[in-house]
Amino acid sequence: MSLPLERIVILVLKHLHGELNAEEQLELEQWMSASPENSAMVEAFFDEENVQRQLQQLTEVDTRIWNKLEVHTGARVKPIIPYHRYLLYAACISAFLMTLAALIKFNTHPSLPVATTTRPVMDIAAPDSTRAFITLGNGKKLYLDSVRNGTSLLPGNQLGQKLSGSSISYHGSVTNAAPELNTITVPKGSKPLLISLPDGSSLLLNVASTASFYVPFPPNERVVQVSGEAYFDVARNAQQPFIVKSKDQVIKVLGTAFNINSYNDEATIKTTLVEGKLQVSQVKSNASRLLSAGQQLTLNTAGDFQLNTDADTDEATAWKQNIFQFKQTELHIIMRQLSRWYNVDIVYTGTMKERFFTATFSRDKSLTAVLKIMELNGINCSLHNRTITIMQ
């Protein structure tokens, strides 16, 4: 990964001020991991001993280094820094710029050795934007953060418009255009996306999830294929059944509101009915169950159903309210949710006993704040780069 030198300076200074958003944090980390010299350069900037050493040498910095930097960046670096922190920041910047100059020299003398170091990520912010994209029928990908609000998503078709940074709508005037398959993906490390479907139903798609459907819906039925988690509020239409497919399960709806959790890395599919009625079928056996409001149906990998007639719908749909809510939830399930939301990997060391936890907290919390909550509950964990290690 290559970045202009001025962009590197901006990212590092914003990190120092605590002003990096999630995308910028990822951009800096990817650049650091692209090569040993990149990592070594930024490591020097955050090395406390190096900062103290550079503080003593601050007045001895050769003007030619600054001139050489300006030649490569085309701009002077003049961060606005509170006076009581000026000396420390100045030392940090000095250390960074001297290392940067050394890197410039290194690039012209590739035979020179460079020390390899790895710097742990200080913290990972919660997602602050929706980074969803649409895969059109021809395979073209349309990234919503690059599309202006009000822009048509399907050229030549009045259906499909970006409403805001976190919502799109396919609801509108139907044209004579042939139905086209759209697959919407909300990746890890993204906020959910609200989708208004062609029939007026709504779909809230959670992180690390996809939804596929034809635009417009065919006249005989409304079908949505889901992987991951989604909340549906379905417009009633007895003449046009609403079908939701996910892994080994099919849901038939007339008009209702429900949540489906169907991630590929989960052993079960959980369907939670908030209001109305729906029928859930197992694909292979064609066995089915009828759900009423307030019930939750779990389908395991063996094809067996388990019905909870007094489900906690608030817990199942807490993510819609931007909340993590766990009630006697198994640790591995919690960690998989954190992995999707913060876009991190999870590693377990030692033999992990089955443990259950109860907690409620905002999904806006940084990852470090969440890990502190876990530590208060007796979980020994650490964060290095984008990996959480759970230690027994």
Residue whose token pair is 């959910």: 192
| d(C-alpha 341, C-alpha 89), whole Å | 32
pTM of the model: 0.68
Instruction: Please state the φ and ψ torsions of residue 391, each to the nearest 5 degrees.
Output: -110, 135
d(CA 270, CA 327): 15
What is the distance between the alpha carbons of residues 165 and 287, in angstroms, rounded to a whole number? 41
Amino acid, single-letter form, for residue 102 = A
The DSSP letter of residue 152 is: B
Per-residue pLDDT of the chain (392 residues; tens, 9 = 90+): 677 766 777 777 776 656 667 677 777 777 777 777 776 666 655 554 554 555 444 444 444 444 554 544 454 444 444 444 444 454 455 455 555 544 444 444 444 444 444 445 568 999 999 999 999 888 999 899 888 887 777 665 556 788 888 999 987 656 566 888 999 999 999 999 999 998 999 999 999 999 999 988 888 889 999 999 999 999 998 888 999 999 999 999 977 999 999 999 999 999 999 999 999 999 988 899 999 999 999 999 999 999 999 999 999 999 999 999 999 999 999 999 999 999 999 999 877 778 898 999 999 999 999 999 888 888 889 999 899 999 87
Rounded to an integer, what distance in angstroms lies between the CA atom of residue 211 and that of residue 204?
10
Q: Please report the domains of the chain, with CATH numbers, ordered by start residue.
A: 5-108 (no CATH), 133-315 (2.60.120.1440), 322-391 (3.55.50.30)
The structure tokens listed for 321 are 């309210």
Which of 19, 25, 18, 17 minimizes the C-alpha distance to 85?
17
- Phi/psi at 58 (nearest 5 deg)? -55, -45
Cis peptide before 219 (omega within 30 of 0): no
- What DSSP character marks residue 92? H
